[in-house]
Amino acid sequence: MSHHDDHGPDSTSEGAEPAPRPATGDEHPAVSDVPAGTESEQGEDDPRGEEILEFWETARVRAGEGKVGVVTGFGVSATVPPPAWSFGDNPALADGLLTAVLSGDKTATSSSRWEYGDDVPLPQVGELSIILDGDGHPRALIRTTSVEVVPFDQVTADFAAAEGEDDRTLESWRAGHRRYFTRVLVGHEFREDMPVVCERFELRFPRQR
């Protein structure tokens, strides 16, 4: 994370559903990914979907995503929320990484290039995501600002620090992500030169105080 609203074909068009983000890097949408949908699709029959819709209504206005709609009226793409997912592969990790995002310590995330394919395109600059906590509740809105694919052993110290984990050093990043990729990769074995998707993002809502 595809997990975002503009991966692949126009996923914000009426009737379309965004592809899920792969369960890689420090994310695990396979557990908590919630495809965006219309209120009629996810309203009363899906309490979590309704909660995400309500969060999106607030977040898009507070983040300035609704300014154009005030003048022109909102189309389907403005009212359908972006994909929702959580960091990590367990609730505790999801909550810890979310806290780092909300504090401003975490402004980047990484995933294995191998987990993307025809049905899950790479993240794109400008796309939005709703971040869930460990219990699946929407807590933050982020926007992707850059995407780069590099070998694992060429990830930079600057990027490792931007991920905001452990002591924020490149050494701890490599140790932690080596363990993570070894644990979650399916159909591939970890290699020091494996391709890693390095994605940076900005927190759009809530604003830091």
Cis peptide before 206 (omega within 30 of 0): yes
Query: Where does the chain show beta strands of DSSP type E?
Result: 84-85, 108-112, 128-132, 138-151, 195-205
**140-151, pLDDT tens digit by residue?**
999 999 999 999
Domain annotation covers residue 62: no
**46-93, pLDDT tens digit by residue?**
778 899 999 999 999 999 986 544 433 444 456 789 999 999 888 999
How far from each other are the two terminal CA atoms of the chain, in whole angstroms?
Answer: 27
Domain annotation covers residue 109: yes
Contact 152, 196 (CB under 8 A): yes
HSE toward the beta carbon, residue 52, CA cutoff 13 A: 31
67 contact partners, CB below 8 Å, separation of at least 6 = none
Domain annotation covers residue 167: yes
166 contact partners, CB below 8 Å, separation of at least 6 = 172, 173, 176
Q: What is the CATH number of the domain that holds 162?
A: 3.10.400.10
- For 93, the domain range is 81-206
* pLDDT at 13 > cutoff 80: no
Domain annotation covers residue 164: yes
Q: How much of the chain, in percent, has pLDDT values that exceed 90?
A: 61
